[in-house]
């Protein structure tokens, strides 16, 4: 009976935890937008023009990079370099998420108005991306495709692929 009460308490606290995580993503998005505004906007411009190239680059960056990290762990030099690469990879994941969010938010804002509201675009995009993963059957694939787009745009803009 006690285990059932603990499980019920965890289920009842789930929305509060979800809202806290969502709020931290929004605050981190505003932080990224404040400090990396030109970079995020450049990636958004790139994604509008070369989305197919970004999708392919995102696949290689998002899927194959962890495999390269795992292969590096087998070498002596790789043991020292893997934390640096892993930190860079996590930064690119966040940057990809917020780049895709700003592109999605910009699309939503363009539907309702013709003005640019960059922080509203970030808020709408983060909200859409964060909660799209909760939609059954189509949420995670949509989230994954948008993350691939953001990662590809970030990689191509940073390393000059296009």
> What DSSP line would sit under the chain, residue for residue?
-HHHHHHHHHHHHHHHHHHHHHHHHHHHHHHHHHHHHHHHHHHHHHHHH-HHHHHHHHHIIIIIHHHHHHHHTTSHHHHHHHHHHHHHHHHHHHHHHHHHHHHHHHHHHHHH-SS--HHHHHHHHHHHHHHHTTSTTTHHHHHHHHHHHHHHHHHHHHHT--
Q: What global pTM score does this model have?
A: 0.78
Parse the chain into domains and list their residue ranges.
2-159
pLDDT, one tens digit per residue, over 97-153 is: 888 888 888 888 888 777 778 888 888 888 888 888 778 888 888 888 888 888 888
**So what's the pLDDT on residue 4?**
60
Identify which has the larger pLDDT, 57 or 15. Answer: 57
């Amino acid at each position: 009976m006690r285990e059932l009460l603990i499980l019920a308490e965890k289920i009842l606290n789930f929305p509060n935890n979800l809202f806290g995580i969502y709020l931290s993503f929004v605050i981190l998005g505003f932080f990224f937008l404040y400090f990396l505004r030109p970079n995020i906007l450049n990636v958004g411009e790139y994604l509008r023009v070369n989305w197919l190239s970004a999708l392919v680059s995102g696949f290689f960056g998002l899927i194959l990079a962890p495999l390269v990290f795992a292969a590096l762990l087998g070498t002596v030099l790789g043991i020292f370099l893997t934390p640096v690469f892993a930190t860079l990879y996590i930064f690119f994941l966040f940057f990809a998420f917020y780049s895709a969010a700003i592109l999605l938010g910009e699309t939503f804002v363009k539907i309702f108005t013709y003005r640019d509201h960059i922080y509203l675009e970030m808020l709408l995009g983060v909200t859409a991306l964060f909660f799209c993963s909760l939609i059954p059957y189509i949420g995670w694939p949509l989230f994954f495709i948008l993350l691939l787009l953001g990662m590809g745009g970030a990689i191509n803009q940073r390393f000059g692929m296009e």
